[in-house]
Chain A
Amino acid sequence: MGRYILKRIFSSVITIWFIMTLTFILMKSIPGDPFVSERAMTPQVKAAVYAKYGLDKPEFEQYLTYMTNFLKGDFGVSFNRIGLTTQDIIKGGFPYSLKIGGWASLFIIVVGIFLGIIAALRQNKVSDRTVMFISTLGATIPSFVFATGYLYFFSKKLGWAPSFGVGSWKHFVGPVICIGMFSLSYVTRLTRTSVLDVLQQDYIRTARAKGLSEFVVIGKHALRNALIPVVTYIGPMIAGIVTGSFVIEKVFGIAGIGSLFTTSILGRDYTLIMGITVFFGIFLVTAVLIVDIVYVLIDPRIKYD
């Protein structure tokens, strides 16, 4: 197990290096640069600005400089927010994204799995049908429609919720629900399908035939197997959710890091593009690694040597 984890960490590092290199190449190949503005700069001023940020050097040299600095823990200064480093910007926004994403993940896991199991146990009954109907809605309504609708009713019409920003718990209800809707529906359906699948297995019939209680049959035998696909999905999902959502953060006026993916690319903020990509890359790779480790814990049949 220990060797397996070491091996995985090593391959993760390679993956991240690969992501960084590819991002660097792609980013440099988009037209435009961080200093495009309505006011054309004179060639002298443009040269001075480029020199200030090291953009006058050949691109391979820029790449080497960036990678060297990166290894030293220096992710570079932002081009579009003078005086802030990439770390400052991520540090400033991540707490908000994490808080909303954390609650949303919890909400998805608890409610999604619970509803999925109920739906499976009461297959084709009213509760199953209701859960499936709602989850179809959740998966098909785009989150911005849902978010706008939420603001319209709860903020504008009823005045129960604030319209933007973060602060009290009231600020978080809307973003958490809106971010979670899609994954919640997905997790519910996934749980339902795999529980139904597992319940038809021979070993469940055996367990029941042995006279085990329903608690042990469902909890000990069925659920452990049924949750493997769910765990596979949840790992990367959490990584995706806590790194923020562009649409939700924009609609709810939250200063998270979700919008940085888009704004950094639109503004050609090279260092920020790299920083945020690496940040997300590390998150995702770690989440996948954790999922693999969790498999061992919930399924004794899986072993890594």
Chain B
Amino acid sequence: MFKKVVSMLIVLTMVLSLAVGCSQPQETTPPAETPAETPGETPAPEEPAAEADTLVWNLGADPKTFDPGLNNASDGGHIINNMFEGLMRDTGTGLEPGIAESYEISANAEGAEGTVYTFKIREGAKWSDGQPVTAKDFEYSWKRVCDPATASEYSFIMAPYIKGANDYLNGTGSRDDMAVSSPDDSTLVVELNFPVPYFLSLTTFYTYLPVREDIVTANGEGWEKKPETCISNGPFKLEEYQTGSHISLVKNENYWDADNVKLEKIKALMIVEATTALSGYENGEIAVLDSGAIPQDEIPRLKAEDPYFSIAPRVGTYYGIFNVDAEPTNDIRVRKALTLAIDQKQICEQVAKGGQLPATGFIPPSLSYSTGESCRQLDADGNPVEEYGLDPNKAQVEEAQALLAEAGYPNGEGFPSITFLYNTNENHKKIAEALQEMWKANLNIDVELRNEEWATFQDTRRLGDFTLARGGWLGDYDDPMTMLDLYTSYSGNNDAQWRWNLQPTVASHDTVLNETNKEFDEVIAAAQLATGTERDALLKRAEEIMAEEFITFNIYYYTYVQVIDESVVEGVNRTTMGQFIFKDSELVK
């Protein structure tokens, strides 16, 4: 027995000394540095435990950028919306003056009403380093967006509206001819190409938010990622950015309305894995979670058990795209049959599960016309009702079967094998499978499913190399046009290949022409010049053309699912377009 114990001890000592011994030669190469010694000494930045005055929120991703002029994604948008402020502010319930104290809308020299905006900059508006915010800052920032050298991916949300901007962007005009000017430090004048009823709402969008010329020119791209050079003009400023880990914001004492900002610090985490983020929330380590951080399968449980769980409408539509140039979806009867065979309500309730609304038309109910009336007809409970002959609550099987027979495929016989393309993602896969089942059960046709990862999928879809594909569009601004202008002939986003003319620069591959798209283009062009109810009627007509032609099969209107722990924080709002607003938030613990 004694011998055994001794031999065990010997072995243990040997092994330990071996580990130390083995590690010595490795010390010469920094990469494989001694595991025995590194842990205690690694320069890994230690994160202090979340402090009591900090709001912890899961942003979910490391934003590509949060430079307002360069940003092209909603993750960066959340950060920008809390660090910067534009001429107007979107409070979620409407617009209120931001850096502009007031504005006037007038006619241009040719007498076109509603094309000249004159903004008066608020006195006392300051950057986080104490310098005043001037009209020149806006002039510089907007011209920077349309400067071809900036290569701003979101320039499309500004250049088409401001006079001379598109020419400047495309290299056919000069910077000085872009019609935004600052006659003095507190006056900004901008002339538009046509009356844009949503221009004020655009001024709240991140691409329109101001940046400082001296900072940007001196530091180049990436200025916004270093606290020393990240000068902002909103309620919060950057305290720390650690790539892949978190972004910390602190209250900006120089913000003009700093007295009403009660939150001292925000920590935005970049946890990608939804189950991890959710358990962080359930452990009380995170107070705010957004859609991406809530696993789909947990939604029913949270809905039933968690008082802080909520669902909010989102400006966007989840749909499928027909390639109108390809067999057999170039036949409108086939497109219509495939659409009618879908039970949107069942997909919402049994697959998507996040309180999504079954879709009829392309425009989501959260957008409205100039009268304030929602773009969708809704019943008393806010659910979409039948429109364009589409019942969102059930599949119209008989009608669908009849159409398919009329197209030459009675009971699905002889129907060619077609494929539904989606981008690799568990949730999209579930919806694709549900569609596959519905088409099989209701029309007796076989649809194969194919997935491609995001970057490849985008290319395939844009080039029209598909028959059926998944689509999803989240609006950029608060107007139906944000959805409709996808399907103009000159739009690079017209993945359905629905074009009436050749578009050599945007879509040189699309040579099969579709006459019906011509009226759509004309209606959109007319809507851009019209105002009020006249414009509403044109927008309605545009959507109607899409619906009559069955360009897309709409599945549901997006929602946000979110948990906001109100035992920790109150007053967390979202803008109309869904960006978090922490300006009015307050910790309650």
Q: Which of B14, B243, B246, B454 contacts A93 (CB 8 A)?
A: B243
Q: Which of B11, B171, B275 contacts A114 (CB 8 A)?
A: B11
Residues of B contacting A103 in the complex (Cβ-Cβ under 8 angstroms): 35, 39
Q: Considering residues A42, A89, A152, which has the most beta carbons from chain B within 10 angstroms of its beta carbon?
A: A42
Residues of B contacting A101 in the complex (Cβ-Cβ under 8 angstroms): 35
Residues of B contacting A76 in the complex (Cβ-Cβ under 8 angstroms): none
Q: Which of A83, A253, A286 contacts B269 (CB 8 A)?
A: A253
Measured between alpha carbons, how far is A184 from B314 in the docked complex, in Å? Answer: 48
Contact with B along A161-173 (1 / 0, CB 8 A): 0111111100000
Distance (whole angstroms) from the CB of B221 to the closest CB of chain A: 5
**Cβ of A43 < 8 Å from any Cβ of B?**
yes
Known A98-B33, A163-B280; judge A33-B39 contact (CB<8 A).
Answer: no
Which residues of chain A in 70-118 are interfacial with respect to chain B, using CB atoms and an 8 Å cutoff?
Answer: 77, 80-84, 88-89, 92-93, 95-96, 98-99, 101-103, 105-106, 109-110, 113-114, 117-118
Residues of A contacting B148 in the complex (Cβ-Cβ under 8 angstroms): 44-45, 48
Which residues of chain B in 209-267 are interfacial with respect to chain A, using CB atoms and an 8 Å cutoff?
Answer: 220-225, 242-246
B7 and A42 within 8 A (CB): no
Q: Which of B36, B62, B153, B505 contacts A37 (CB 8 A)?
A: B153
Binds B, one of A131-139, A196-204, A212-220: A212-220
Contact with A along B6-40 (1 / 0, CB 8 A): 11101110111011001001100101111110110
Known A44-B171, A49-B151, A286-B29; judge A102-B38 contact (CB<8 A).
Answer: yes
B283 and A36 within 8 A (CB): no
A-B pair number, CB within 8 angstroms: 249
Distance (whole angstroms) from the CB of B502 to the closest CB of chain A: 14
B458 and A36 within 8 A (CB): yes
Distance (whole angstroms) from the CB of A276 to the closest CB of chain B: 13
A215 and B454 within 8 A (CB): no
A105 and B276 within 8 A (CB): no
Measured between alpha carbons, how far is A236 from B278 in the docked complex, in Å? Answer: 35
Q: Considering residues B18, B220, B491, which has the most beta carbons from chain A within 10 angstroms of its beta carbon?
A: B18
Contact with B along A267-296 (1 / 0, CB 8 A): 110000000000000110011001001100
B279 and A95 within 8 A (CB): no
Residues of A contacting B3 in the complex (Cβ-Cβ under 8 angstroms): 214
A167 and B492 within 8 A (CB): no
B244 and A99 within 8 A (CB): no
**Cβ of A8 < 8 Å from any Cβ of B?**
no
Which residue of chain A is the closest to B224 with respect to CB atoms?
Answer: A83
Measured between alpha carbons, how far is A231 from B36 in the docked complex, in Å? Answer: 16
Binds A, one of B45-53, B380-388, B396-404, B563-571: B45-53
**Cβ of B459 < 8 Å from any Cβ of A?**
yes
**Cβ of A239 < 8 Å from any Cβ of B?**
yes
B153 and A95 within 8 A (CB): no
A41 and B32 within 8 A (CB): no
Interface residue total, chain B, C-beta cutoff 8 A: 91
B42 and A98 within 8 A (CB): yes
A32 and B455 within 8 A (CB): yes
A99 and B455 within 8 A (CB): no
Q: Which of A81, A151, A259, A268 contacts B276 (CB 8 A)?
A: A151
Contact with B along A181-210 (1 / 0, CB 8 A): 000000000000000000000000000000
Interface residue total, chain A, C-beta cutoff 8 A: 87
Known A33-B455, A88-B243, A103-B35; judge A121-B11 contact (CB<8 A).
Answer: yes
B64 and A81 within 8 A (CB): yes
Residues of B contacting A20 in the complex (Cβ-Cβ under 8 angstroms): none
Distance (whole angstroms) from the CB of B205 to the closest CB of chain A: 13
Which residue of chain B is the closest to A290 with respect to CB atoms?
Answer: B26
Contact with B along A233-260 (1 / 0, CB 8 A): 0100011001000000011110110010
Contact with A along B447-476 (1 / 0, CB 8 A): 000000111101110100000000011100
B271 and A155 within 8 A (CB): no
Residues of B contacting A162 in the complex (Cβ-Cβ under 8 angstroms): 283, 285
Binds A, one of B65-73, B185-193, B518-526, B576-584: B65-73
B222 and A82 within 8 A (CB): yes
Distance (whole angstroms) from the CB of B55 to the closest CB of chain A: 16
B273 and A251 within 8 A (CB): yes
Residues of A contacting B10 in the complex (Cβ-Cβ under 8 angstroms): 214-215, 218-219
**Cβ of A7 < 8 Å from any Cβ of B?**
no
Which residue of chain A is the closest to B16 with respect to CB atoms?
Answer: A110
Which residue of chain A is the closest to B462 with respect to CB atoms?
Answer: A40
Residues of B contacting A223 in the complex (Cβ-Cβ under 8 angstroms): 14, 18
Q: Which of A41, A77, A110 contacts B15 (CB 8 A)?
A: A110
**Cβ of B118 < 8 Å from any Cβ of A?**
no
Q: Considering residues A99, A121, A287, which has the most beta carbons from chain B within 10 angstroms of its beta carbon?
A: A99
Known A162-B285, A255-B245, A286-B31; judge A214-B18 contact (CB<8 A).
Answer: no
**Cβ of B149 < 8 Å from any Cβ of A?**
yes
**Cβ of B272 < 8 Å from any Cβ of A?**
yes
Measured between alpha carbons, how far is A225 from B534 in the docked complex, in Å? Answer: 89
Known A218-B7, A253-B271; judge A167-B38 contact (CB<8 A).
Answer: no
B7 and A45 within 8 A (CB): no
**Cβ of B169 < 8 Å from any Cβ of A?**
yes
**Cβ of A148 < 8 Å from any Cβ of B?**
yes
A31 and B455 within 8 A (CB): yes
A102 and B33 within 8 A (CB): yes
A253 and B225 within 8 A (CB): no
**Cβ of B94 < 8 Å from any Cβ of A?**
no
A290 and B244 within 8 A (CB): no
**Cβ of A38 < 8 Å from any Cβ of B?**
yes
**Cβ of A303 < 8 Å from any Cβ of B?**
no
**Cβ of B411 < 8 Å from any Cβ of A?**
no
**Cβ of B390 < 8 Å from any Cβ of A?**
no
Measured between alpha carbons, how far is A282 from B48 in the docked complex, in Å? Answer: 33
Known A214-B7, A255-B270; judge A41-B492 contact (CB<8 A).
Answer: yes
**Cβ of A39 < 8 Å from any Cβ of B?**
yes
Which residue of chain A is the closest to B460 with respect to CB atoms?
Answer: A31
A84 and B170 within 8 A (CB): no
Distance (whole angstroms) from the CB of A80 to the closest CB of chain B: 5
Interchain residue pairs with CB less than 8 A apart (20): A38-B493, A43-B505, A45-B152, A45-B153, A48-B149, A83-B223, A89-B244, A92-B243, A99-B44, A102-B35, A106-B19, A110-B19, A156-B282, A163-B276, A214-B10, A231-B22, A242-B31, A251-B275, A251-B276, A259-B272
In the complex, the 10 A-B pairs of residues with the closest C-beta atoms, listed nearest first = A83-B222, A40-B492, A32-B455, A255-B245, A255-B244, A95-B44, A82-B65, A48-B151, A102-B35, A105-B35
